[in-house]
Structure 1
Amino acid sequence: MSLTNAQYNSIMKDYEQTRDRNRHLTEQRRLEVYTKLPEYGRLDESVGELSVAQAKLLLNGDDEALTRLRLSLKDISRRKKELLVSAGYPVDYLEPVYTCPDCKDTGYIEGDNGLRKKCHCFHQQELDILYEQSHIRDMIASENFSNLSYEYYQGEDLAHFRKCVDVCHNFVQNFKQDYHNLFFYGTVGTGKSFLSGCIASELLQSGHSVIYFSASGLFDTLARYTFDARAKEALSGFYEDIYNCDLLIIDDLGTEMTNTFVASQLFSCLNERHLRQKATIISTNLSLEELRDRYSDRVFSRITSHYDLCKLTGPDIRMCKKRMQNASDN
């Protein structure tokens, strides 16, 4: 995933604040132990004094000074641990505190090649940002491949759905190396949004940036950016987000109030993402004929030329589930 500079700086600032909090916690613990166990503090002080004394002996030619220092430090460490345990503290109570011990709250660890790489905790923060940007955190909690079911489809409807599921799996598996777009269309409630959510869930989990908009929400936001000077500043990064995210999902195309502005903005969005080779998924209840009639010929041409068309048919699954629920309640 590609973070903006502001997002990266925000994550690194969080790490800095975490280190400060943990250093403060460690220092509080040390003061607590020194107050309760004065002997522990004296042992800590003796480490420095002993080290200086033995260093002088070593410089004066005493070859055994280093060995004696190591034995003395080992004995002091043992006595300090005994004091902690006897007072009811964990043996590691005064060890440095890290929220992530792997990277020591820096966000980076050493890779196999000796170079720094992002720690798993850094990647998790990236994923959290992706989820927030995507607008689909709640949706993918239920709409994912593990919840996929074929039980509501029969005959030709089932064949259509199976084919679309295969297309979705291939889309995810080849996402890194192949540029593809998907266009889900067909009757109401047949799983178009569900399959979009399945794909989004998989790609978000693998660290890709996914942004979801209902068609009405997308065009409302575009209108605010275009016509509202105050909103323009707040949405300054909006165009780059929708143009540069790895996957843009436009759900329920056709439910918005369609006009020349919408048709123009839709084409600009689709065209720009195509030029940048960024994948887009569109779902709609419109037929291909209705799509051509409602939007410009160039929108229709862009979609039919550069999108895999996935037709879904069958009963309205939401209504089927509702009837089943009512039956079970009775």
Structure 2
Amino acid sequence: MALSNSQYNAVMRGYEERQRLQRRAMEARTQEVYKKIPQIQELDRQISSRAADCARRVLGGDTKAREHLKEDLADLKEQKLTLLKAAGYPADYMELRYDCPDCQDTGYANGKRCHCFERQRLNILYAQSNIEAVLKEENFDHLRFDFYDDTEKVPQLGMTERAYMEVVVRQCREFAQQYPDKGNSILFTGGTGVGKTFLTNCIAKELIDRCISVIYLSSNELFEIFSKYKFGRDSEEDVEESYRYILDCDMLIIDDLGTELNNSFVSSQLFYCINERIGRKKGTIISTNLSMGMLKDTYSDRVTSRIMSNYRVIPLYGADIRMKKRATRL
């Protein structure tokens, strides 16, 4: 997803500010040199004067003016360089410097966005995901299987919890690496602490690292934004922007669906959100403690139908991993 106009403008203003600061720093270094070596100031004056004279001569039809200027400037610059070195300054001390030499602090190199621009874009995507700090710990690199039982087979699966989770994690990795080619949306179901949120965060980090925009919201946060947008008396620009972004970001994560206070408004907005994002071909990951039957009873047939028709449903099994982790620390 491209940056919004305001985000793009903020990035470009940052480049303009860097250029301004670098010009100011160059001017300060130049004045320092002029004060210490007045001859260099005179040489710079001669360089400017001869360049202006050359321009006048070219306009007057002198075809050899540029060639003569090139010879004169080479001689003056050599004198300048000799004086700088004699005073202990590096050859480029009076030149303009850049934070990123590749694009010269413009954001673009060879007609394409520079790597420094893409790094800033990635930072913005992380910041607006709503889980930037969490993703430093909850990602595929930190995922462990040793908290899943590998001794008894789960009747519904015909395999152990650990073996099943290894399959699920492999599927999630493929989904994140190949999104949206491997499907757009996932529904994680299962009890508390079985790894639903951890897996959504793992996927989120992989997507953001591919410069895919992600926003994470608990179900309570999601419906609070919808409520403020629909019923807020004051027109809050940030609420409107959040509402639009929920519908248009590349990947929306709704965590703990079913923990919010449910009513007809919540059910209708959930259907609208799911349906709208399907129509826009945008991905959604939902985690919930509710079974498919409970989802149907809590919301509506049409919500459940849209999920069943368009989402990959991944049930998770096992005991509360968070309780196991706490027990190991005791």
TM-score scaled by structure 1?
0.88
Deviations 1:166-200 (A, max 9, x none): 22112122214354210111121111111111111
Q: How does 1:81-92 map to 2 (within 5 A)?
A: 81-92=81-92
Shift of 1:52: 6.5
- For residues 184 and 60 of structure 1, do their structure 2 counterparts lie closer, same or farther at Cα, with a shift above 3 Å needed? closer
Is the contact made by 1:182 and 1:282 (CA closer than 8 Å) also made in structure 2?
yes
Q: Determine whether 1:135 maps to 2:130.
A: yes
Q: How does 1:100-249 map to 2 (within 5 A)?
A: 100-110=100-110, 116-155=111-150, 156-230=160-234, 232-249=236-253
Is the contact made by 1:131 and 1:137 (CA closer than 8 Å) also made in structure 2?
yes
**Paired residue total:** 319
Is the contact made by 2:34 and 2:40 (CA closer than 8 Å) also made in structure 1?
yes
Helix, strand or coil for the counterpart of 1:315? coil
**Alpha-carbon distance in structure 1 between the residues aligned to 2:204 and 2:195:** 14
Is the contact made by 1:152 and 1:315 (CA closer than 8 Å) also made in structure 2?
no
**Alpha-carbon distance in structure 2 between the residues aligned to 1:19 and 1:140:** 33
Q: Determine whether 1:299 maps to 2:303.
A: yes
TM-score scaled by structure 2?
0.88
Q: Over aligned residues, Cα RMSD in angstroms? A: 2.4
**Alpha-carbon distance in structure 1 between the residues aligned to 2:309 and 2:63:** 84
Q: Which residue of 2 aligns with 1:113?
A: none
Percent identity among equivalent residues?
Answer: 44
Deviations 1:108-138 (A, max 9, x none): 111xxxxx21111111221122122210101
**Alpha-carbon distance in structure 2 between the residues aligned to 1:312 and 1:87:** 72
Deviations 1:84-105 (A, max 9, x none): 2333333211111212211111
Shift of 1:75: 4.0
Q: Determine whether 1:262 maps to 2:266.
A: yes
**Alpha-carbon distance in structure 1 between the residues aligned to 2:63 and 2:322:** 87
**Alpha-carbon distance in structure 1 between the residues aligned to 2:30 and 2:191:** 67
Deviations 1:245-298 (A, max 9, x none): 110000111111122211111111001001111110001122222222211111
Shift of 1:70: 4.5
Q: Which runs of 5+ in 2 are unaligned?
A: 151-159
- For residues 321 and 85 of structure 1, do their structure 2 counterparts lie closer, same or farther at Cα, with a shift above 3 Å needed? farther
Q: Which residue of 2 aligns with 1:286?
A: 290
Q: Which runs of 5+ in 1 are unaligned?
A: 111-115
Shift of 1:76: 3.2
**Alpha-carbon distance in structure 1 between the residues aligned to 2:50 and 2:236:** 66
Helix, strand or coil for the counterpart of 1:250? strand
Helix, strand or coil for the counterpart of 1:248? strand
Helix, strand or coil for the counterpart of 1:282? strand
Q: Determine whether 1:274 maps to 2:269.
A: no
Shift of 1:235: 1.4
- For residues 289 and 52 of structure 1, do their structure 2 counterparts lie closer, same or farther at Cα, with a shift above 3 Å needed? closer
**Alpha-carbon distance in structure 2 between the residues aligned to 1:241 and 1:61:** 60
Helix, strand or coil for the counterpart of 2:133? helix
Is the contact made by 2:229 and 2:243 (CA closer than 8 Å) also made in structure 1?
no
